[in-house]
Amino acid sequence: MIPYSRQSIDEDDIKAVIEALKSDYLTGGQRVKEFEKALAEYLDIKYVCVMNSATSALHIAYKTIDLKEDDEIITTPITFAATANAALMCGAKPIFCDVKTNGNINEEKVEELINSKTKAIIPVDFGGNPVNINTIRKLCNKHKLYLIEDCAHALGSEIDGKKVGTQADIAVFSFHAIKPITTCGEGGAIATNNKELYEKAKLLRSHGIVKKQVWNSDMIELGYNYRLSDVASALGISQLKKLDLFIEKRATIANFYNKEFKNNPYFFPIQLPLHVKSSYHLYPILLDRSLWCAKEDIFKELQAKGIGLQVHYKPTYQFSYYKKLFGEMKLHNAEEFYKAELSIPCHQEMSLEDARFVAHTLLEVLAKYKRCKT
């Protein structure tokens, strides 16, 4: 099976982890700080605080802006559940804004959702394709809102040569196994240029406890244990060195697909504007609407042929937990995106041979399916 995404671990990575395992500190040591420094340099953002997942990082990001009961955030439903869940963890209400045909939040539709309860806007760079951050930044400035960017897909993505995350008050990254780089399967980080938010995040990451003198400490906030270990950070340091190479390899696969799929009658790849660089975390395709009714069969048949697929994402508001809380809702483009989207294999462990197999099999399978009425 060629999975839609997967990690790459080489001998250097393994060596780095073994070294960390043999060292004095498995957690709370220098490797955590070293990883944070390397990330900050890579992103060109002043402060980085690594955590045990992006879900923890989102929770902490929302806590650092003091998100609480009766507050609202505006986010996209085309994302992993954690983006909105972390707001619920704070007692706040996620308001879902519709997306564009590329799966990113429709920045033109955000403003009409802003009210006196709104505290932050949380866009997601879907698949690694950067959102229109300039417009969202201006909107946040105008209405005095925080901009927290869920960059879980987008470590290494760029707009106009600048890394994604630099315009946000807080950018959140994921090091889950299948994300752009990994830290032993789970991991995450926040990045910010705001010292105050950074200090608060660091405090909340580790129980809200500050050291005083000798053995004496004080707990000044109700915090968590969301720390990332030194062993995980060792892998992160080693992986980060290869991130640009990973992206290059994924770009090669994506460019190959783009050529193969040009003008095909079955689906549309997502077009990237010239001024952006994607991390190519995903290669999403959008089926023509005449094939939506056959998507389940297409998915199963491709899987049986050894092609691992995924659908990103079921709109968050469709989860029964959300329906129970907020009732039924439907956003037109999010609904259509969910019906059309398939993520096909695109990762740094694939050869061009693999990509050719995926492309040809996909086109061959799709040709067999009857078009449905739309």
Is 83 a binder of ligand PLP (CB under 6 A)? yes
User: In which residue are the tokens 């609202």 written?
Assistant: 72
Residue 148, helix vs strand vs coil: strand
Return d(Cα 168, Cα 158) in angstroms, integer.
Answer: 13
Size of the site for ligand PLP (CB under 6 A): 14
Query: Per rule CB under 6 A, is residue 32 in the interface with ligand PLP?
Result: no
In the set 55, 104, 167, 193, which binds ligand PLP (CB under 6 A)? 55
The beta strand positions in the chain, using DSSP E, are 47-51, 72-75, 93-96, 118-122, 146-150, 158-159, 162-163, 170-174, 188-192, 209-211, 217-219, 267-269, 276-277, 283-287, 341-344
2, 39, 43, 54: residue in contact with ligand PLP (rule CB under 6 A): 54
Give the shortest CB-296-to-ligand PLP separation in angstroms. Answer: 23
For the CB of residue 61, give the shortest distance to ligand PLP in the complex, in Å: 11
Instruction: CB nearer to ligand PLP: give 146 or 261.
Output: 146
Q: Which amino acid is at 247?
A: I
What minimum distance in Å lies between the beta carbon of 177 and ligand PLP?
A: 9
Interaction between residue 76 and ligand PLP (CB under 6 A): no
Contact region for ligand PLP (CB under 6 A) — 76-84, 89-97, 237-245, 365-373?
76-84
The one-character DSSP state at 314 is: -
Our CB check for ligand PLP shows the closer of 298 and 316 to be: 316
Q: Which of residues 121-160 bind ligand PLP (CB under 6 A)?
A: 124, 150, 152-153
Smallest gap from residue 187 Cβ to ligand PLP (A): 7
Q: What is the DSSP string of 44-102?
A: T-SEEEEES-HHHHHHHHHHHTT--TT-EEEE-SSS-THHHHHHHHTT-EEEE--B-TT
- One of 59, 63, 176, 227 touching ligand PLP (CB under 6 A): 176
Does residue 105 belong to the site contacting ligand PLP (CB under 6 A)? no
Is there a contact between 174 and 51 (Cβ–Cβ < 8 Å)?
no
Distances (CA, A) of 23 to 16, 237, 256: 11, 16, 44
Q: Which is nearer to ligand PLP, 45 or 84 (CB)?
A: 84
Q: Per-residue string for binding with ligand PLP, 199-238, x by CB under 6 A?
A: ----------------------------------------
Distance set, CA 346 to CA 185, 281, 297 (Å): 19, 8, 21
Q: Which of 102, 125, 167, 80 is nearest to 278 (CA)?
A: 125
Structure tokens at 266: 């079955």
Residues engaged in binding ligand PLP (CB under 6 A): 53-55, 79-80, 82-83, 124, 150, 152-153, 174, 176, 188
